[in-house]
Structure 1
């Protein structure tokens, strides 16, 4: 059963039919209002050192204090698909680096959730597993894929 928090999250991360790649989404707008100092000059700064990159990731923390957080793994997949759709539209048009990096930063956090958040039911675990198999992003990332699968099925003694 979906609670109100799930519903709010999933409604927020739904691509509207009138989505325009030239217009930023509500989620992107919220992030830019808070972290524009990080993303405004992204094209000039994207070759910064690893330390600067790690500092940025620590500061933003997947935007979990700004954007609604997923409550279940199913919510994670819904949001992942949302960001995937936005990303495809961005690359088709302006390839606005700052906005694209916002998407990658949020997806990195969602990936961490896929590796750690436990499925609510076996049915959810199966649904997420099927989603994972269909998601191109994880095709060449065997170690990450394995971590998510182990999270879904539970680690066993060897």
Structure 2
């Protein structure tokens, strides 16, 4: 579990750094249209949409509703903070990122990766607290939903 968490953190950081490097390059921003709109979407509504889909699939019992409210509001808050952090990181990279010496680029990458790891760790804690209250059947549904959702988001980021 710990090894896969480290791998996920590293992959997340590398993908963000790659995207940030590309975004910082002049003339690399594609025009906003239907084809790339999903990449530009606000993460908060996207998170809320996935949470609504998950809630419907889980068929929560009345006793689980309070845990769901805590879980969903905490994840929505995480999405908001993550979006703000990404904007701050983009600003920290600056327009001259491509011209920085390699050691300075690497230092910036370390900061981004640590931030990604911190967000992933908080999200994992929020998820575990909710997940522990699910039935075995609900855990299976949750796992399948998370796997599909994760794969779809990874595919979108790779485009």
TM-score by length of 2: 0.30
- Which structure would you say has the larger Rg? 2
Output the TM-score relative to the length of structure 1: 0.30
More helix by share: 2
Q: Tell me which of the two structures has the higher relative contact order, counting C-alpha pairs closer than 8 angstroms and 6 or more residues apart.
A: 2
